[in-house]
């Protein structure tokens, strides 16, 4: 009877450990995907900004990229104290930015993003009307010069 109890305790401990590991892996996958979305959005916005000299936030592509950036900002802000999330997010940014970011520059960009307020409370219905959003995105893009 003691052996069965010990075996059940070991199985319970393994289950808890496995569930924790899976949750962490899932969170890292979410962070990586969010970082990839962010890297692609920033790369698209930067390319548009560099080619035209300004950022037309009302154009379809720029609007989509700005909204993606705001969504990534929200996810990053929610997990700002999770070091593993941040690391996976940055890795995703580097992987999808077509060479725009290194790990170090992506980390600096994330710091800049987290210290800005212009991407908070942005959604698809108000992003084009939010002057603060455009100003914030331009200041973020200017850090990439």
Identify the pLDDT of residue 22. 34
In which residue are the tokens 């999808």 written?
Answer: 96
Closest CA to 96 of 106, 86, 87: 106
Domains held by the chain: number: 1
At 2, the pLDDT band (50, 70, 90 cuts) reads: very low
Which range of residues forms the domain containing residue 67?
2-142
How large is the average pLDDT for residues 7-32? 49
Q: Which residues contact 56 (CB under 8 A, 6 or more apart)?
A: 48, 62
Residue 36 has pLDDT above 60, yes or no: yes
Distance of alpha carbon 33 from alpha carbon 27, whole angstroms: 10
Identify the pLDDT of residue 19. 34
Q: Across the chain, what does the average pLDDT equal? A: 80
Residue 71 has pLDDT above 70, yes or no: yes
């Amino acid at each position: 009877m003691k052996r069965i109890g010990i075996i059940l305790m070991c199985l319970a401990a393994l289950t808890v450990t496995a569930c924790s590991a899976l949750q962490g892996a899932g969170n890292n996958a979410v962070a990586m995907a969010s970082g990839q979305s962010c890297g692609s959005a920033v790369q698209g916005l930067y390319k548009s900004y560099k080619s035209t000299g300004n950022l037309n936030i009302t154009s379809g592509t720029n609007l989509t990229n700005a909204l993606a950036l705001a969504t990534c900002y929200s996810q990053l802000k929610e997990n700002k104290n999770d070091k593993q999330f941040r690391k996976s997010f940055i890795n995703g940014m580097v992987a999808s930015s077509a060479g725009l970011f290194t790990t170090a520059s992506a980390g600096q960009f994330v710091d800049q993003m987290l210290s800005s307020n212009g991407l908070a409370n942005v959604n698809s219905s108000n992003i084009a009307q939010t002057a603060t959003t455009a100003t914030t995105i331009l200041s973020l893009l200017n850090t990439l010069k």
